[in-house]
Amino acid sequence: MRCQEFREMIDSYLSDELLVETNHEVLRHLESCAACRNELAAHRTLRTRVRAAVKGAPDAQINPYFARRLEMNLRETALRPTVWTKIKSGAFLNSPILAATTAACLLFGVLFGVNWLRSASEDVVVRQNQTNKSAENLRPKEEPDTAQIVQAAWREITHEAVGDHENCALHFRLKEDPITLKKAADQYGKFNKDLDKTVIESLREVFSEKTSGKTSDKIQIFEAHSCVFQGKRFAHVILLYRNRRISVLVTEANLPGENDEKILSEAIKSVFVARFRTTRHAVFVISDLTAGENVIIAEALAPAVRRHIERSEAGA
Amino acid sequence: MFGVGRKREEEWAAFETEAVPLMADVFRVANYLAPNREEAEDLTQETFAQALKSFHRYTPDTNCRAWLVTILYHLNSKRKYKLGRLKLVEDTEEQIANTVAFVPPIPEQLKDEEILAALEKLPQAFRDVVVLSDVEEFSYKEVAEFLQVPIGTVMSRLSRGRKLLRQQLTDYARSFGIAAEG
């Protein structure tokens, strides 16, 4: 085999697509030709580097929560007996009339049940609201010197937020499975609803001009849900930016002191935390970007998130 | 009655063993095809839903990953067609690649980000084949089926794609004063 012939089939050799006989010829040629060995090594290096770069890019990793949800949905679909399989299996005693009657009864039952459940849950919500209001009335008035109390309250809640960022956004090892923001809006507070949309829209305005065209420079949502860390529930929007995960966390918090417009920044462990508050909520932006970048993100989303929370409170 | 339930359970068990563990691989290809993560997740979801429906057509212990990616490509073409995004590959792209002469080896100091940026700059037709063949390690025949092109086209695009990529990386390294090895 001549060098020119080898160069023509180098790609097929590398992809293991040559016939066994041709492969032997190539190997024989390589034994005696240093130039072709170098050329092959260069091809192989390129392939290894490209493979490692694409497979290792954080952007290319599947979101474990998405994977788990998809698997659960598929399992449910696979194992859910359809009406047709029930008919085929004789569950309806091979009688179409009986089948139709049973289906009608089931439909009626479901509709009645849904109606009943809805009215029952409305009762619970009304009862809960009443309890919350009476609890608010019982809450003692603010102490005149609140600086230390405010600081202690922030410290505790910030610690939980950082823990949630580490255990949820970075390592996916929460004890309790997260639920969707939609579900959380029904159960834990209207502010959860569409929080992800508010966050990403407010950031797109700021980041759209800055993107250099690289995929990793675009800010995008990696995951949005409601999760619990050490008993504290957070609305959690995980963003992906420059191959890093950024957590935006919102939680109900009865912080003492005035509701102000300040955004405070601090370093905790290896991350930066930018935080601000509304009357009844604490909002955190946590990432391992620089402190400045982290604050820019917090500043960009603060007005929209404040409005989002205020509107949801007003509508609650 | 119970026989049907058991059959469904057996089918699911087979799907869970063969297809579900490949979710991350399928997502990676979907993420490469889709313009953003959201659409990549939609595409992955549709692929698995479709695969579950047609799992009876899959021959056990054959290449399940290639089977799933075939479904993925099929669904992606349908989506692109619906959105009017489908573009035909032009010959001019191949002409550009033909002009690539001898290329020195790529320098080792280059970072992954730079390699990804160079890959993104490749014309789509070449990038598809490089990713499917070099990264995902599908055979020429499988790649030809995904892309609905003859095997010869896969071979020529792979060869030209690799050359072009190497050329770009070498140019990039040179512009930053990084020397090529060897």
Query: Could you tell me how many residues make up chain B?
Result: 182
Q: Can you give the three-state secondary structure of B16-79, one letter per residue? A: HHHCHHHHHHHHHHHHHHCCCHHHHHHHHHHHHHHHHHCHHHCCCCCCHHHHHHHHHHHHHHHH
In chain A, alpha helices (H): 3-14, 20-32, 34-56, 64-79, 83-89, 96-138, 147-164, 181-188, 195-207, 291-315
Q: In this model, does residue A69 exceed pLDDT 70? A: yes
Q: B27 or B175: whose pLDDT is higher?
A: B27
Q: What is the pLDDT of residues A200-253, one digit of tens each?
A: 999 887 776 444 455 556 788 889 999 999 999 999 999 988 778 899 999 999
CB contacts, 8 Å: B15 with chain A: 74, 78
Ranking A12-21, A183-192, B119-128 by mean pLDDT, the lowest is A12-21
Per-residue pLDDT at A215: 55
Mean pLDDT over the full length of chain B: 81
Torsion of CA B90, B91, B92, B94, to 10 degrees: 120
Q: How far apart are CA A39 and CA B105, in angstroms?
A: 8
Q: A162 or A243: whose pLDDT is higher?
A: A162
Q: Do residue A63 and residue B41 have CB atoms under 8 angstroms apart? A: yes
Q: For an interface test with A, which of B23, B134, B164 has the most A Cβ atoms less than 10 Å from its Cβ?
A: B134
Per-residue pLDDT at A166: 92
Please report, in angstroms and rounded to a whole number, the separation of the first and last CA atoms in chain A.
Answer: 80
Give, as one character, the DSSP assignment of residue B5.
H
* Percent of chain A at pLDDT exceeding 70: 76
At residue A74's C-alpha, the angle toward residues A73 and A77, to 5°, is 85
**Exposed, middle or buried by CB within 10 Å (0-12, 13-18, 19+), for B143?**
buried
Give the number of A-B residue pairs with CB atoms closer than 8 Å: 134
Q: What is the CA radius of gyration of chain B?
A: 20
A56 interfacial to chain B (CB closer than 8 Å): yes
Torsion of CA B4, B7, B13, B17, to 10 degrees: -140
**Exposed, middle or buried by CB within 10 Å (0-12, 13-18, 19+), for A267?**
exposed
CA atoms within 13 A on the CB side of B42: 10
Q: Do residue B117 and residue A214 have CB atoms under 8 angstroms apart? A: yes
Q: How many CB atoms neighbour CB B89 within 10 A?
A: 16
Listed in sequence order, the residues at least 6 apart from B149 whose beta carbon sits closer than 8 Å to its beta carbon are none
Q: How confident is the model at residue B94 (pLDDT cuts 50, 70, 90)?
A: very low
Provide the chain A residues 255-294 that lie in CB contact (below 8 A) with chain B: none
Per-residue pLDDT at B2: 43
Greatest C-alpha distance within chain B = 73
Q: How confident is the model at residue A299 (pLDDT cuts 50, 70, 90)?
A: very high
Q: What is the pLDDT of residues B98-122, one digit of tens each?
A: 444 455 556 667 788 888 888 988 8
Place of tokens 């067609």: B81
* Percent of chain A at pLDDT exceeding 90: 29
Please name every residue paired with A264 in a beta bridge, in sequence order, or none if there are none: A275
Per-residue pLDDT at A93: 53
Per-residue pLDDT at B173: 67
Q: In this model, does residue B154 exceed pLDDT 80? A: yes
Mean pLDDT over the full length of chain A: 81
Separation of CA A258 from chain center: 32
Task: Give the nearest partner residue to A17 out of B49, B139, B182, using CB atoms.
Answer: B139
Q: Which residue of A has its CA nearest to B142?
A: A17
pTM over 0.80: no
| Residue B181 backbone zone (phi > 0: left; psi -120 to 50: alpha; other: beta) | beta
For residue B85, the SS3 value is coil
Q: How many CB atoms neighbour CB A64 within 10 A?
A: 13
A9 interfacial to chain B (CB closer than 8 Å): no
Q: In this model, does residue B139 exceed pLDDT 80? A: yes
Do residues B22 and B64 lie in contact, with contact meaning Cβ atoms separated by under 8 Å?
A: yes
At A258, give phi and psi (nearest 5°): -80, 150
Q: Do residue A17 and residue B140 have CB atoms under 8 angstroms apart? A: yes
This complex has an ipTM of: 0.80
Q: What is the pLDDT of residues A164-193, one digit of tens each?
A: 999 998 888 888 889 999 999 999 999 999
Greatest C-alpha distance within chain A = 92
Q: How many CB atoms neighbour CB A242 within 10 A?
A: 16
Q: In this model, does residue B85 exceed pLDDT 90? A: no
**Exposed, middle or buried by CB within 10 Å (0-12, 13-18, 19+), for B54?**
exposed
Residue A222: closest CA among A79, A118, A29, A66: A66
A37 interfacial to chain B (CB closer than 8 Å): no
Q: How many CB atoms neighbour CB B99 within 10 A?
A: 8
Do residues B126 and A65 lie in contact, with contact meaning Cβ atoms separated by under 8 Å?
A: no
Give mean pLDDT, residues B68-87. 78
Most confident of A83-92, A133-142, A248-257: A248-257
Q: How confident is the model at residue B68 (pLDDT cuts 50, 70, 90)?
A: very high
Q: How far apart are CA B38 and CA A221, in angstroms?
A: 8
Task: Give the nearest partner residue to B140 out of A15, A46, A47, using CB atoms.
Answer: A15
Per-residue pLDDT at A117: 64
Place of tokens 């085929």: A88
Separation of CA A42 from chain center: 40
Per-residue pLDDT at A83: 63
Give the strands of the sheet with A271-277, arranged side by side: A220-229, A232-241, A244-252, A281-287, A271-277, A264-268
